[in-house]
């Protein structure tokens, strides 16, 4: 989680959302590509513009990668999806939420939206370093 925690400090300061790409091979491989959120502020929350998301999907496809999820921080709040998160979420994506207090990531949890539009927690297995 070190790479994500390091990025979380930046996420906390800049309020972006990011996409996590998964290469479709037999070997586990992850890469994080920052995607700047459109309108962002502590009051407004993050949102990725549809054109930005489409461009990210195309860029991933060109690299034989699929978007498997989005992560963002909840500064001064728990790592639990908000109503805004639920309203904007897509089923079958993982939503990794980091709870940030000050400049520290204090908790994190991945969530997946089911077809009833309810979030279910996901297990995270950390591989390698």
The set of residues, in sequence order, having a beta carbon less than 8 Å from that of 88 and lying 6+ positions away, is 47
Distances (CA, A) of 115 to 18, 73, 118: 23, 24, 7
Provide the 8-state DSSP code for 52.
H
What are the structural domains, with CATH classification, of the chain?
2-122 (3.40.140.10)
Residue range 79-113, pLDDT digits in tens: 999 998 998 888 888 888 989 888 888 998 999 99
Provide the 8-state DSSP code for 66.
E
The DSSP bridge pattern shows strands 104-113 and 94-101 to be: antiparallel
- Distance between CA 76 and CA 113 in Å, rounded? 23
The model carries a pTM of 0.72
Residue range 1-56, pLDDT digits in tens: 555 655 554 443 433 345 554 444 444 445 666 666 555 555 556 677 788 888 88
């Amino acid at each position: 989680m070190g790479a994500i925690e390091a990025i979380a400090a930046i996420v906390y300061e800049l309020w972006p959302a990011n996409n996590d790409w998964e290469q479709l091979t037999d070997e586990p491989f992850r890469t994080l590509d920052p995607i700047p959120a459109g309108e962002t502020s502590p009051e407004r929350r993050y949102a990725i513009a549809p054109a930005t998301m489409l461009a990210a999907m195309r860029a991933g496809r060109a690299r034989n990668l699929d978007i498997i999820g989005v992560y963002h921080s909840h500064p001064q709040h728990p790592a639990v999806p908000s109503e805004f998160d639920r309203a904007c979420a897509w089923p079958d994506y993982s939503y990794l939420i980091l709870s940030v207090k000050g400049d520290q990531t204090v908790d994190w949890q991945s969530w997946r939206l089911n077809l009833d539009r309810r979030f279910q927690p996901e297990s995270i297995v950390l591989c390698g370093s």
